[in-house]
Chains A and B, each alone.
Chain A
Amino acid sequence: MAKKITIDPMTRIEGHLKIEVEIDGGKVKDAWSSGTMARGFEALLTGRDPRDASFVTSRFCGVCYSVHQITSARALDAAFGAKVPWGGNLIRNLVMGAEYIYDHVLHFYQLSALDYIDVMAIANYKGKDKDLLSVKDKIVGLVKAKDTYPLTPRYEPDEFSVKDPNIVISAVKHYIDALKMHAKARNMGAIWGGRTPHYQNIVVGGVTSYPDINQWARFRTMLDEQKKFIEEVYIPDVLAFGTGPLWKLATMGVGGGHHNYLAYGDFPKDAEGKKLVFPSGVIMGLNPADIKVGAFDPNKVTESVKHSWYKEKKPVHPYDGEQVFDLDKKGAYSFVKAPRYDGKPMEVGPLARMLVAKNPDVIGLVKKGAKPGAVARHAARAIETKLIADACYGWLDQLLTEMTKPGFKIHDTEHWEPPESGMGAGFHEAPRGALGHWIKIKSKKIENYQAVVPSTWNASPRCENGVRGQYEESLVGAPVPNPENPINVVRVIRSFDPCLACAVHIIDPNTNEIRKFIIE
């Protein structure tokens, strides 16, 4: 008989998420994903100086703040008519590069790894490595003191859990090391960002941080350390897990979902802007043997509120969206809206980006039999971390050339004051996926503001047609032999790196102006 279980709160994610699954015959038969917190930023931004938007939207999320700051600044750039000097764009790219590095590393070790390893297997470590023995002492010490929080309580390890003490102990050591590397990567971003979380240097027209050569050298040295960790620890760990103990989970394709993928594309490699680190594109119904990538058309984005706690309205483009709460609405179960592309639910994020880019490493894994799903998502995330770190070196080289030229610029000062009226869209590939902000200005103030964020795509509830969102669909078929221990459910959800504070956003008063917005 089918049994319904609820996981609330879903932990080790950003924000407040409830997952409900119906289990039948040891597998998930149906699933519901609910965002359970709202702050309502819209009323806050309406009527304010547009330049506030970059700093307020940064507070959508304290994990991935800068993504909103830069996307907002890009929307403002378009609305103000500002042209960011290449020097300003290079610094924007570099601080965003730092964000990718700390975000992805944190996600794998701090937020996900505990789902895959049996930490207590450390007690069986028989090796003599001094560093690893100190980790063993630490964990055994916690157990002896009968105080193993926050590592326990936990869902019990299952057939997919890694129990080899040698692998587990090095993973736990890397868990501790990664927390330091994550802090150091944030320090790297703060060289020009001022501080983290919530960078302060990205404004309409460019950046505020005029670089000096010592900062440049400091950033590069810190990047060297990060790159070493990515190449020698992070990627080997993910691949060792994914192609070793978790290979079965990978080949089963647990957590696959709809297999529709969307990437807006981002990060020009040079001032010409023709080559992107992450190309743009759409894949509908992936066929791994023959990947067909279509062009992305921003006009095909709509949002449904059929099952969300907002006043009923037909699906519309984000520009026509509104956010009038209706907490008593029948059939509603989430504060997250349901974005659709051409009417279809899409996955955004590292796996979508790497498939759209036809990245040879990810394609290689797929050819070996790994089906796109939870495990593949971790692999794609690790692989793209290296791509962005490599791109940072290119940007640093260009920055050194630029900043030592006379007349070096970081900001379009001519377009600093808000225009009387204007509108614009900003797009960005955030670590969690495709992100867009839209702004409309009237009488030098914000008239409306709208954001469609990656976790809204992924965590969306059902739409008008009753079609499940990507989290929900990904859970269908996931093995849950014991309903008391739904560890595969949390593995699947965490593989997306949920960010619910972002997903339950925002905005905006009614407007019928949608298609007048210039979308670049």
Chain B
Amino acid sequence: MKEEDILSKKLVKVVESHGIDRRDFLKYCAATAAILGLSELEFTTKIAQALESTSKKPAVIWLEGQDCAGCTISFTQILYPPAASIILDKISLRYHETAMAASGHLTEKVFQDTVKQGGYVLIVEGSVPSADDRFCMVGGRPFRVLVEEAAKKAGAIIAVGACATYGGIPAATPTKGIGLNKALPGKTVINLPTCPVHADHLAGTILYFLATGKVPELDKIGRPVMYYRELIHDNCRRRAHFDAGEFLTDWNNPAQKDWCMLKKGCKGPMTNSDCPIRRWNNGISFCIDCGAVCMGCAEPGFYAEMSPLYAAESEISKRILAMREAGLFKKET
């Protein structure tokens, strides 16, 4: 039997057993493989194997600190594969306060048992208050302690969203929220910023880890290169209008509808993420497509350094315009 036929049969089996629409599943695998720059056949085979081994589902602990649950909600929005199939079939979600059936002391026991066992994937959402432990208490204990305990025997650590990665909004408040880069010095943490985390970024990172047992290649601030390689600006569909000097000033004017958002305060020229290509909500839209600015939420400076988010004249926009005048955004042809 040819390799393709074996793979095909295997996939059909996997898909049927997981109740996923086969075409959607193949589409998802192919897209993931393409993004990872792997041969489709090689990668889908590995994913198929990873998904088949239901008996050895990897344990996951998902902690929430100074968070808004936005990253959790973002993750549950993924349709291909459906979030329910990831949660029930592909991972063993031991601890997640927003999802788990258990409450109170029952949660504590699951947490301790899983930590003792080790080798789990630790996902952290929300920042750790550095001003005073009492700004975030879970089950009567400081959130900081939970994170440190869980990090010790974790097989992989993923920080999701702006808060858990680099501090996000709480970083600029009196509670002095910090991200895992500061809360867990010396640990390898996979950083998936954006506010909230992009569901595909998280699902893809988990699948990559399941398929290879490895952490994906990271950039110098801990973000997977496969998602954060390029500037938003370089893939923006409004880019031609930036080059032509056409900037949106009036949202009511249909002629300006697709013009560059820079003079409203867009941070796309200084933000790395694949948002313009991947888009959000299963490809429906993303910030710049709905006429809004990029707020720079994939960068460590979010929020304080990106403020004001909307402004025709800000230090950031002046800098970007000066760079434009100097021809720094021109592509070699």
Residue positions of A touching B, CB distance < 8 A: 6-16, 18, 36-44, 48-49, 51-52, 55-56, 59-63, 65, 85, 106, 110-111, 114, 119, 134, 138, 141-142, 145, 147, 149-155, 175-176, 179-180, 182-184, 186-187, 190-198, 200-201, 203, 206-210, 309, 325, 327, 408-411, 413, 486, 490, 501
| B66 cross-chain contacts in A, Cβ below 8 A | 37, 39
| B257 cross-chain contacts in A, Cβ below 8 A | 210
Residue B303, interface by CB 8 Å: yes
Residue B322, interface by CB 8 Å: no
Residue of B nearest to A41 (CB): B173
Please state if A147 and B135 are interface contacts (CB–CB under 8 Å).
no
Contact of A196 among B139, B172, B254, B281 (CB under 8 A): B281
Provided the pairs A11-B97, A155-B103, A208-B290 are in contact, do residues A51 and B309 lie with their beta carbons within 8 angstroms?
Answer: yes
What's the Cα separation between A149 and B94 when bound, in Å?
6
| A180 cross-chain contacts in B, Cβ below 8 A | 79, 82, 84
Please state if B106 and A153 are interface contacts (CB–CB under 8 Å).
yes
| A409 cross-chain contacts in B, Cβ below 8 A | 252
What's the Cα separation between A369 and B222 when bound, in Å?
59
| A14 cross-chain contacts in B, Cβ below 8 A | 68-69, 98
Residue B320, interface by CB 8 Å: no
Please state if B82 and A179 are interface contacts (CB–CB under 8 Å).
yes
Residue B212, interface by CB 8 Å: no
Q: What are 6 A-B pairs at a CB distance below 8 A?
A: A63-B70, A110-B99, A149-B92, A152-B101, A152-B102, A207-B251
Residue B287, interface by CB 8 Å: yes
B291 smallest CB distance to A (angstroms): 3
Please state if A201 and B292 are interface contacts (CB–CB under 8 Å).
yes
What's the Cα separation between A43 and B93 when bound, in Å?
36
| A176 cross-chain contacts in B, Cβ below 8 A | 82, 84
Please state if B87 and A150 are interface contacts (CB–CB under 8 Å).
yes
| A147 cross-chain contacts in B, Cβ below 8 A | 57, 92
| A16 cross-chain contacts in B, Cβ below 8 A | 64, 136-138
| A193 cross-chain contacts in B, Cβ below 8 A | 285, 290
Please state if B292 and A208 are interface contacts (CB–CB under 8 Å).
yes
Residue of B nearest to A38 (CB): B135
Contact of B70 among A62, A154, A411, A413 (CB under 8 A): A62
| A13 cross-chain contacts in B, Cβ below 8 A | 98
Residue of A nearest to B54 (CB): A145
Q: CB-defined interface of B143-158 with A at 8 Å, one 1/0 digit per residue?
A: 1000000000000000
Provided the pairs A59-B68, A62-B196, A195-B287 are in contact, do residues A327 and B132 lie with their beta carbons within 8 angstroms?
Answer: yes
Please state if B83 and A203 are interface contacts (CB–CB under 8 Å).
no
A104 smallest CB distance to B (angstroms): 14
Please state if A154 and B101 are interface contacts (CB–CB under 8 Å).
yes
| A198 cross-chain contacts in B, Cβ below 8 A | 70, 195-196
Residue B235, interface by CB 8 Å: no
Residue B130, interface by CB 8 Å: no
Residue B186, interface by CB 8 Å: no
| B136 cross-chain contacts in A, Cβ below 8 A | 16, 36-38
What's the Cα separation between A38 and B257 when bound, in Å?
40
Residue of B nearest to A502 (CB): B68
A499 smallest CB distance to B (angstroms): 9
Please state if A183 and B78 are interface contacts (CB–CB under 8 Å).
yes
Please state if A195 and B280 are interface contacts (CB–CB under 8 Å).
yes
Residue B109, interface by CB 8 Å: yes
Please state if B70 and A197 are interface contacts (CB–CB under 8 Å).
yes
Provided the pairs A8-B104, A198-B196 are in contact, do residues A153 and B69 lie with their beta carbons within 8 angstroms?
Answer: no
| B138 cross-chain contacts in A, Cβ below 8 A | 8-9, 16, 36
What's the Cα separation between A183 and B69 when bound, in Å?
15
Please state if B134 and A9 are interface contacts (CB–CB under 8 Å).
no
Q: CB-defined interface of B49-82 with A at 8 Å, one 1/0 digit per residue?
A: 0000011010000001111111111101111001
Residue of B nearest to A8 (CB): B139
Give the contact-size bracket for chain B.
35 or more
| A194 cross-chain contacts in B, Cβ below 8 A | 280, 285-290, 292
Please state if A59 and B195 are interface contacts (CB–CB under 8 Å).
yes
Please state if A201 and B291 are interface contacts (CB–CB under 8 Å).
yes
What's the Cα separation between A411 and B174 when bound, in Å?
35
Please state if B68 and A65 are interface contacts (CB–CB under 8 Å).
yes
A113 smallest CB distance to B (angstroms): 10
Please state if A153 and B137 are interface contacts (CB–CB under 8 Å).
no
Residue of B nearest to A15 (CB): B69
Please state if B173 and A44 are interface contacts (CB–CB under 8 Å).
yes
Provided the pairs A147-B57, A180-B82, A210-B291 are in contact, do residues A154 and B106 lie with their beta carbons within 8 angstroms?
Answer: yes
Provided the pairs A138-B88, A327-B134 are in contact, do residues A11 and B100 lie with their beta carbons within 8 angstroms?
Answer: yes
What's the Cα separation between A209 and B293 when bound, in Å?
11
What's the Cα separation between A179 and B310 when bound, in Å?
34
What's the Cα separation between A15 and B134 when bound, in Å?
15
Contact of B169 among A59, A110, A145 (CB under 8 A): A59
| B78 cross-chain contacts in A, Cβ below 8 A | 183
Residue B40, interface by CB 8 Å: no
Please state if B110 and A153 are interface contacts (CB–CB under 8 Å).
yes
Provided the pairs A180-B84, A197-B73, A413-B252 are in contact, do residues A43 and B173 lie with their beta carbons within 8 angstroms?
Answer: yes
B316 smallest CB distance to A (angstroms): 12
Please state if B77 and A36 are interface contacts (CB–CB under 8 Å).
no
Residue of B nearest to A327 (CB): B134
| B104 cross-chain contacts in A, Cβ below 8 A | 6-10, 486
Residue B96, interface by CB 8 Å: yes
Give the top 10 A-B pairs by smallest Cβ distance, nearest first.
Answer: A62-B70, A194-B290, A208-B291, A195-B280, A200-B292, A49-B308, A190-B281, A154-B101, A62-B68, A7-B104
What's the Cα separation between A43 and B175 when bound, in Å?
10
Residue B170, interface by CB 8 Å: yes
Please state if A9 and B79 are interface contacts (CB–CB under 8 Å).
no
What's the Cα separation between A36 and B109 when bound, in Å?
20
CB proximity to A under 8 Å, residues B5-30: 19
Q: CB-defined interface of B234-250 with A at 8 Å, one 1/0 digit per residue?
A: 00000000000000011
Given contacts A149-B100, A180-B79, 19 further A-B contacts (CB under 8 A): A11-B98, A12-B99, A12-B100, A12-B101, A16-B136, A37-B66, A37-B137, A39-B173, A40-B173, A49-B309, A155-B103, A184-B79, A194-B292, A195-B280, A196-B77, A196-B280, A197-B73, A200-B287, A208-B290
A205 smallest CB distance to B (angstroms): 9
What's the Cα separation between A16 and B79 when bound, in Å?
28
Please state if A138 and B19 are interface contacts (CB–CB under 8 Å).
yes
Please state if B308 and A51 are interface contacts (CB–CB under 8 Å).
yes
Residue of A nearest to B114 (CB): A149
| B249 cross-chain contacts in A, Cβ below 8 A | 413
What's the Cα separation between A31 and B281 when bound, in Å?
41
Residue B211, interface by CB 8 Å: no
What's the Cα separation between A413 and B132 when bound, in Å?
44
| B103 cross-chain contacts in A, Cβ below 8 A | 7, 9-12, 155, 490
Please state if A62 and B67 are interface contacts (CB–CB under 8 Å).
yes
Please state if A197 and B196 are interface contacts (CB–CB under 8 Å).
yes
What's the Cα separation between A15 and B70 when bound, in Å?
11
A165 smallest CB distance to B (angstroms): 18
| A18 cross-chain contacts in B, Cβ below 8 A | 137, 140
